[in-house]
Amino acid sequence: MHLGNLASLTLFLPEIAVTATILLLILVHVAGKNRQSAAPALLSLAGVGTALLLVALQPASPARSLFEGMVALDGFAIFFKALTALATIVVIFMSMESRELASRSQTEYYIFLLSVLLGMFLLAASTDIVMLYLALELVSIPSYLLAGYIKGRESSTEAAMKYVVYGATASGVMIYGFSFLYGLTGTTQMAEIGRALAAGKAPLPVYLASVMVTVGFGFKIAAVPFHMWSPDVYEGAPTPITAYLSVGPKAAGFAVLVRFFYTVFATPDAVAGTWKLSQSVDWPMLFGILSAVTMSVGNLIAINQKNVKRLLAYSSIAHAGYMLMGFVLLTPVGLKAILFYLVVYLFMNLGAFYVVILVANGTNSEEIADYSGLGSRAPFAAISLAIFLFALTGIPPFSGFIGKVYLFAEVINRGVYWLAVVAALNSVVSLYYYARIVKVMFLEDPKETTEMPVQAFPRAVISLLAIPTLLLGIYWEPVARVAANSVRLLAF
């Protein structure tokens, strides 16, 4: 059911909460004298916390269309809103701890961070291509600013510059694709575009448009061959932002990829929960190749990295490849696997980055060589980093394993064996470079022997990230059920 503007407002409360927090932060910034006070961080924590609570209270069914068909309120949107809000809260904790950001203006940083969050809320929910583009830019533009937030550092400025150039090109190509879709169908509503494409026959322009749109989404999720920006941006950006970009916008990118392709290029079948591809494009093959190439390139280049942030950047590319496996066949089961993996990935990847921040605070370095002897210098940090890294590899007792099982299972059930074999080989490769960090931490002699005590607060946050990473490897049923329930997309 389409809701009007006024009726939609009561179902738009999380977004309103985030917007109100952003406006409040602007006023705080103008009024406040102390640029380094912790007030903006606490204020944004309260704002995002409220938004998360409001998201949890939102009704998932029946699926509703807000603002005359601009955004959807369905289980899928609610899932991604909760996921991105959770990631933002963890990143705010990280930013409070990070020493890189201590000298910069705090309030503006959180204004940008919350703007990205607002963009991700809208991106996961948008059902109109104009709204989609607007939301994508709302995610992108503050991300450029955040990547270059440490003004004096050359690598940070370089990161922002590269990000802007790549981002502008990708979104330009994408909106050109949108213009084709609009020209072919005469509507900006994704559901109506889908219906028009299913009825008519215009294969060549549709191919062209879908490829162009894939460029824009591929840039957001950093899939090969649109990944070139990510290593430099991830290395140069402040570490909390690197962590944010590798989880938040990536999740939102997957959300929009799934929603767009489902509503535009597939039609809901009579049987509940299954979808039928309406175009003659060989999507499974196309996305299968994209997935295989993405994970292989990410993993193979990660082997040679000496900087932890760069290594995690390539590993993040590889993980986008794994997650694309769930997208290959456009089935609800595969989709559920992506959603589940994103939850698991949020905890393990943010956890790994949190430890990287703590180590950088202690040693002023992000080189893997400087992690030597961390096992004796800061046992808590070293052991938790080892947990996160083994989880990222996908070794059995950890949650990453269960995530991968779901992704592999669907591909194997549908008979795409070659992709499963490629992914399995990639997991073996990834074990090498993740385990190398663990080896440096525990088996190599430390260059310095001074202890690096971890304060109580970071200890608590790391535990909050490590416990789900361990627990979801043993008892994952509730999260898997939530993911399965969230696969329901708005469709009418």
Q: Most distant CA pair in the chain: distance in Å?
A: 70
Mark the segment that binds another protein (CB under 8 A) among 27-35, 170-178, 218-226, 424-432. Answer: 27-35
Residue closer to another protein by CB (options 30, 271) is: 30
C-beta of 43: minimal distance to another protein in Å?
Answer: 15
C-beta separation of 67 from 242 below 8 A: no
Per-residue mark of binding to another protein, 96-135 (x: CB under 8 A): ----------------------------------------
Residue number with CB closer to another protein (27 or 228): 27
- Count CA atoms within 13 Å of residue 219 on its CB side: 24
Buried b (16+ CB within 10 A) or exposed e, 458-476: beebbeebbebbeebbeeb
**Residues in CB range of 61: below 8 A, 6 or more apart:** 74, 75, 488
Residue 26 CB, shortest distance to another protein, in Å, is 5
CB of 367 to another protein, least distance (A): 36
Q: Which one of the spans 26-34, 37-45, 123-131, 270-278 is the region binding another protein (CB under 8 A)?
A: 26-34
Counting Cα atoms < 13 Å in the Cβ hemisphere of 18 gives 28
| Residue closer to another protein, measured from CB, 199 or 204 | 204
23 binds another protein per the rule CB under 8 A: yes
27 binds another protein (CB under 8 A): yes
Of 27 and 42, the one with the shorter C-beta distance to another protein is 27
Query: With respect to another protein, which residue has the nearer C-beta, 122 or 350?
Result: 122
Give the shortest CB-313-to-another protein separation in angstroms. Answer: 31
Total residues belonging to the chain: 492
User: In whole angstroms, what is the distance from residue 315 CA to residue 266 CA?
Assistant: 31
- Shortest Cβ distance from residue 30 to another protein (Å)? 5
Query: Is the bond into 225 cis (omega within 30 degrees of 0)?
Result: yes
Quick one: how far is CA 385 from the chain centroid? 20
**Which C-beta is closer to another protein: that of 27 or that of 421?**
27
Cβ closer to another protein: 20 or 102? 20
Q: Is residue 272 a contact point for another protein (CB under 8 A)? A: no
Q: Determine, following the binding rule CB under 8 A, whether residue 29 of this chain makes contact with another protein.
A: yes
Q: Is residue 205 within the footprint of another protein (CB under 8 A)? A: no
CB distance 346 to 319 below 8 Å: no
What is the spatial distance between Cα 335 and Cα 323, in angstroms, rounded to a whole number? 9
Would you tell me how many other CB atoms lie within 10 Å of the CB of residue 331? 18
CB of 17 to another protein, least distance (A): 15
Q: How many residues bind another protein (CB under 8 A)?
A: 5
- Residue 451: half-sphere exposure toward Cβ, Cα within 13 Å: 5
User: Whole-number minimum distance, CB 453 to another protein, in Å?
Assistant: 40
Query: From the list 4, 10, 26, 172, which residue makes contact with another protein (rule: CB under 8 A)?
Result: 26
Applying CB under 8 A, the span of 19-27, 400-408, 420-428, 432-440 interacting with another protein comes to 19-27
Residue closer to another protein (CB basis): 6 or 199:
6
CB 261 within 8 A of CB 289: no
Element (H, E) at 268: strand 266-268
Least separation in angstroms between residue 58's CB and another protein is 22
**By C-beta, is 145 or 466 nearer to another protein?**
145
Q: HSE on the CB side for 441, CA within 13 Å?
A: 23
- Residue pair 404/431 in contact (Cβ under 8 Å)? The answer is no
Minimum distance of another protein from residue 22's CB (angstroms): 9
Site for another protein in 36-55 (CB under 8 A): none
Nearest in space to 181 (alpha carbons), one of 168, 164, 167, 194:
194
User: How many other C-beta atoms are found inside a 10 Å radius of the C-beta of residue 282?
Assistant: 11
Smallest gap from residue 32 Cβ to another protein (A):
10
Site for another protein, rule CB under 8 A: 23, 26-27, 29-30
